[in-house]
Structure 1
Amino acid sequence: MTVVISATGLYTPPYTISNAELVASFNAYVERFNAEHAAAIAAGEKQALLPSSVEFIEKASGIKHRFVLEKDGMLDVERMVPIIPERPNEALSLQAEVSVAAAKQALERAGRDPMDVDAVICSCSSLQRPYPALAIEVQNALGAGGFGYDMNVACSSATFAIQNASDIIRAGHARSVLVVNPELCTGHLNLRDRDTHFIFGDAAVAILVERADMAPPGAWAILGTKLQTRFSNNIRNNFGFLNRGDEAHRDDPDKLITQQGRKVFKEVVPMVSEMILQHMAELDLKPSDLKRLWLHQANSNMNRLIAERVLGHEASQEEAPTVLDTYGNTAGAGSIIAFHLHSNDFKAGDRGLICSFGAGYSAGSIFVQKSA
């Protein structure tokens, strides 16, 4: 049975933060920290913090700008945490709200009514709560039928969910599955850490996965999906219900995202490149068969090397477009944002690759072909 991506949707938050704004806030914190602990630093009891810079951020990541749900709290040196008030149980949760916005756009682009949806999968790097499932809340808010459940596979959440949706359809349990990926990453970003304070932005995407016989014209046939995981502590976040509390969340770096960036780079690039090449061989595809790679938007240097290993030459912006410079790292949403914004020029028969990779380690590749 042929399964397709009928449409995608994108929610972009209302606020932006430039590298210059982020650096100004971080450096003010560094200056204050070093002054307050000057004696301990001089005695060798504490290590002085190093300032950040726009040049450092762009060289390390390729990020120039990001969209965020809340700006003031992030830049406030007294706080450096987004100000996101908790909502009552009767109100739509924040992740459900942005998911619904992205979902409505995807449904409209496919000409689909919410009641046509048989299942909803909410898959993202950090879930707002354990239960009830956000997917069920989104299902209810849209007026969709069937069932829903949540998933978490870090930055590979969207691609893993697309394979799940495809499997559900092929098994005959649904004809139309809506995948939502609400990545509100700034909530667990450590804005006091020079190596990570610039990484994440916020966004939400939706992907409508359906049987080909009910899909609209111009849908994307899924030629194949492949998933891979390999355990690593090099990207980690230990915050959870067993160590709850606002103070733990704000002041303990272990309860926010931590990563060993150089180790991640060294280990993930070959892992992902080899997985893609193996998947291509299984599908009897050659690099020349691919018009575009929509890669996970985590680091521009990683994407450049992965694309070069897959294509056999340095990729152009057209062959491997980036949204990292504008959106920052949006975890599982990144490759889908790239696909959403850079796929309108495809003609029937054109092929491409959606690929994500992240903590776990986890990686997912999805080869697609534009339908007539």
Structure 2
Amino acid sequence: MNSVVISGTGLYTPKNSISNQELVESFNAYVNKFNQEHAEAIRKGDMEPLQESSAEFIEKASGIKSRYVLDKEGILDVDYMHPHLPERSNEEHSIQCEMALVAAREALEEAGRSPSDIDAVIVACSNLQRPYPAVSVEVQAALGVEGFAYDMNVACSSATFGIQAACNAIQSGTAKAVLMINPEICSGHLNFRDRDSHFIFGDACTAVLLERADLAKVKGYEVLGTKLQTLYSNNIRNNFGFLNRCDERGVGAPDKLFIQNGRKVFKEVVPMVSDMIQAHIAEHGIGAQDLRRLWLHQANLNMNVLISKKVLGREATHEEAPTILDTYANTSSAGSIIAFHKHKEGLDEGALGVICSFGAGYSAGSVIVRKL
């Protein structure tokens, strides 16, 4: 069976960033406006007043300080509070394709590869811009890749599930090299009027190039094994779909956007993920003391601290469990790959690490890698 390596990674970061303070100023302006407009109902007790947010509350709850977004103006507009991303003609690249091309080309350059070397493209993310034609096929055509392409969605775990799919194709001989890409426009499904979640997400796109180890031009990371797990839960949900009707802003009822029961997610996902990682490394004869780095899903700093502590049996250093959450926020499936992309250097040959994602589904994926 063919060995697989990660030979290149790429990242697209939007130009616009929104700080916690900017987001809070917009949110609180909306809260004050809402409470004034419904003052009589609130006074009678027929309606609860909305509560203001604060930058301190956001950072304490999540570890997030800012986030990159495709559109800043629409999100901060008190009367709109949604990214303004106009539809494009069918002859133009979709937004996700545009993001994907930047990340994919960086991954190709790092690996010393060209599109002609690639056999397959997988676009794996939480929200696809359209059902068909597949965004991956659009990206494939834009890059000039022959072979095949397909889209997949396993929410925040889409990247690790996509890595396993790529590994399967390479190990079986279906492909020699696969581009796995995660274009996440998370701001599009976020309710910026919800105090408990308006700060969570940002936008970004990552790309991972996986190929046969014996054909790779550069030393990268060998994939030693993958492990996936799913467990059905309603605690993270988005009901938007083609059967739903929307208003003129493209937004439906609140449950057509991101909703979650944060406390239950924390309580249930942390042990699920830490147990999965521990079981996975044990299957490969690896002890916690052998791990040099954990590239965890970037959803919540407190979750990551606790998961890494459970896996390692002690507090992890920033170098051992790097975070990009403070500046990128939660970018869904792209998060763990951003952490890997930005913090994969500086390890000695033979060093072991785990790329791990977790999120809605529940879904979780673990990828054990070794530095070559």
- TM-score, structure 2 normalization: 0.98
Counterpart for residue 250 of structure 1: 251
SS in 1 for 2:303: helix
Shift in Å, 1:249: 4.3
Counterpart for residue 307 of structure 2: 306
User: Which consecutive unaligned segments of at least 5 residues does structure 1 have?
Assistant: none
Structure 2 Cα separation of the partners of residues 174 and 302 of structure 1: 36
SS in 1 for 2:64: coil
Shift in Å, 1:46: 1.2
Structure 2 Cα separation of the partners of residues 174 and 246 of structure 1: 44
Alignment of 1:132-171 (within 5 A): 132-171=133-172
SS in 2 for 1:97: helix
C-alpha contact (below 8 Å) 1:296/1:334 kept by paired residues: yes
Shift in Å, 1:236: 0.3
Cα-to-partner distance string for 1:43-95 (whole Å, 9 max, x where unaligned): 22211111000011001000001111110000000100111010000000000
Residue 80 (structure 1) aligned with residue 81 (structure 2)? yes
C-alpha contact (below 8 Å) 2:135/2:151 kept by paired residues: yes
Structure 2 Cα separation of the partners of residues 120 and 240 of structure 1: 24
Structure 2 Cα separation of the partners of residues 123 and 147 of structure 1: 14
Counterpart for residue 8 of structure 1: 9
Superposition misfits of 4+ residues, deviation over 6 angstroms: none
Shift in Å, 1:219: 1.3
Q: In structure 1, what residue type is equivalent to 2:238?
A: N
Structure 1 Cα separation of the partners of residues 356 and 282 of structure 2: 16
C-alpha contact (below 8 Å) 1:219/1:370 kept by paired residues: yes
Alignment of 1:25-174 (within 5 A): 25-174=26-175
Structure 2 Cα separation of the partners of residues 40 and 310 of structure 1: 50
Structure 1 Cα separation of the partners of residues 188 and 203 of structure 2: 9
Alignment of 1:147-296 (within 5 A): 147-247=148-248, 249-250=250-251, 252-296=253-297
C-alpha contact (below 8 Å) 1:218/1:348 kept by paired residues: no
C-alpha contact (below 8 Å) 2:14/2:69 kept by paired residues: yes
Structure 1 Cα separation of the partners of residues 247 and 139 of structure 2: 26
C-alpha contact (below 8 Å) 1:249/1:255 kept by paired residues: no
Q: In structure 1, what residue type is equivalent to 2:152?
A: M
Cα-to-partner distance string for 1:297-322 (whole Å, 9 max, x where unaligned): 00000000000000000111011010
Structure 1 Cα separation of the partners of residues 259 and 135 of structure 2: 26
Residue 347 (structure 1) aligned with residue 348 (structure 2)? yes
- TM-score, structure 1 normalization: 0.98
Shift in Å, 1:348: 1.3
C-alpha contact (below 8 Å) 2:192/2:198 kept by paired residues: yes
Quick one: structure 1 residues 248 and 45, their matched pair in 2 at CA, closer, same or farther if it must change by over 3 Å?
Answer: farther
Shift in Å, 1:141: 0.2
Shift in Å, 1:251: 5.0
SS in 2 for 1:24: helix
C-alpha contact (below 8 Å) 2:246/2:252 kept by paired residues: no
Identity of aligned residues (%): 64
Cα-to-partner distance string for 1:280-307 (whole Å, 9 max, x where unaligned): 1101100111111000000000000000
User: Which consecutive unaligned segments of at least 5 residues does structure 2 have?
Assistant: none
Structure 2 Cα separation of the partners of residues 251 and 92 of structure 1: 26
Q: In structure 2, what residue type is equivalent to 1:32?
A: K
Structure 2 Cα separation of the partners of residues 93 and 4 of structure 1: 30
Shift in Å, 1:200: 0.3
C-alpha contact (below 8 Å) 1:239/1:249 kept by paired residues: no
SS in 2 for 1:99: helix
C-alpha contact (below 8 Å) 2:74/2:82 kept by paired residues: yes
SS in 2 for 1:210: strand
Shift in Å, 1:247: 4.2
